[in-house]
Structure 1
Amino acid sequence: MSKRGQEPGQTSEFNEFLLKIGKLNYTWTNTESLLIHFIAGLAKCNKEVAVVIFLTLNTSRARLDLVERLAKLPGIPVEERDAVLSLSQEMSRLSSLRNRYNHCIYAFDPENGSTRTILMRIADRKSDIKMGQANPIDDVALSEIDETLAGLVNLNARFWKTAHQFNYPL
């Protein structure tokens, strides 16, 4: 028990954080699934084939890479290519926060009830490695999640608009 009589991680701030992370993952997955329509449209295949391709690629990065490469193929009109690349670049940018929170563990200070994330990645440097980057779960972190959520909601709408604009299979 912490000083406040709660189990570690049971503060209202941490519960708010968990709800936001859940919403972030839901919003990300919902938006990422729209890549199916882009694969179908750019590869000129039906949605069923695009779903198989999408599910065969097991990372967001691989799916985005495929969509970007399809958009760069000869025969894709410049306006369409540029629209797709703009969306994929924005999605890549928005992925960093989601990736950070999906590749971390949480540490709880039993004395003051504070919580922090510890990144579970190794960063290779020129002559050493760095690991265990810690970040507090505070108002700044919650604000970053809110900004990313708003960005994903906007991106989702832009994906739909672009899919309709270029008549991708829906």
Structure 2
Amino acid sequence: MFSIEPFEVSAGSLAMKEGSSRFRDVLTLLGQLNYTWTNTESLLIHLIAGLARVDMETATVIFLTLNTSRARVDLVERLAKLDRTDADIRKDVLNVTRSMMSESRLRNKYNHCIYSFDDSGENVSTLLMRISDSGDRLKYGKVDAIDDAEIANITSSINRLIATNREIWALAKKHGFPV
């Protein structure tokens, strides 16, 4: 049987110690954001099945073949915009995909950054890992604090995604899509 021996990690381990709950709470919240996003995104399979008029297995293969959330949403929106799609279905689908994608910027921010914190693990910030050309200079490494206002923003985003999740389920049932 294989076991993992305890090991020490210097500065980073401080953030996870008993007295440093802020960083741990932020990580938990970001995990909830990712879980909620992924769970909601997976419901696009039902929309693909209904709009493309295919079974769930086929819709799942289509969903998994597309590599990004944007590609999956684009497909669903394009299927909804086909002339054969009823106007009420189109409206409902476009409303939920727009709601979902309005949360993607925040999710992407936290999935594509480096986290930093002080020695106590309490002052958490992000370092955005994006580079941009600005005239004759490069800009990169924008730092943002994860303060109480940002925690409230993340929490609100999670709640909006939960609402979108419920709307997708209701839409699928209302329009007779495979569930």
Unaligned residue ranges in structure 2 (runs of 5+): 1-9
2:119 corresponds, among 100, 104, 110, to 110
- Secondary structure of 1:130's counterpart equals strand
Contact 2:49–2:177 (8 Å) recurs in 1: yes
2:51 equivalent among 42, 51, 57:
42
Uncovered stretches (5+) of structure 1, i.e. residues with no partner: none
Q: CA contact under 8 A between 2:15 and 2:21: conserved in structure 1?
A: no
Q: Which moved more, 1:10-19 or 1:46-55?
A: 10-19
Amino acid at match of 1:135: D
CA pair 84-24 structure 1, distance change in 2 beyond 3 A:
same
Does residue 22 (structure 1) correspond to residue 31 (structure 2)? The answer is yes
Please name the residue that 1:168 is paired with.
177
The answer as to whether partners of 1:43 and 1:70 remain within 8 angstroms in 2 is: yes
Say whether 1:80 aligns with 2:81.
no
2:156 is aligned to 147
Match for residue 14 of structure 2 among 4, 7, 20: 7
TM-score, normalised with respect to structure 1: 0.91
- Distance in 2 (CA, whole Å) between partners of 1:85 and 1:62 is 15
Cα distance, 1:9 vs structure 2: 5.7
Matched-pair contact (CA < 8 Å) for 2:46–2:172: yes
CA contact (8 A) 2:125 2:146 kept: yes
Helix, strand or coil: the match of 1:82?
A: helix
With normalisation by structure 2, the TM-score equals: 0.86
How many Å apart are 1:109 and its aligned residue? 2.6
2-structure distance, mates of 1:38, 1:112? 42
Cα distance in 1 between the residues matched to 2:134 and 2:88 = 40
Identity %: 47
Query: Alignment RMSD, CA only?
Result: 1.8
Equivalent residue letter for 1:89: R
Q: CA deviation at 1:114?
A: 1.7
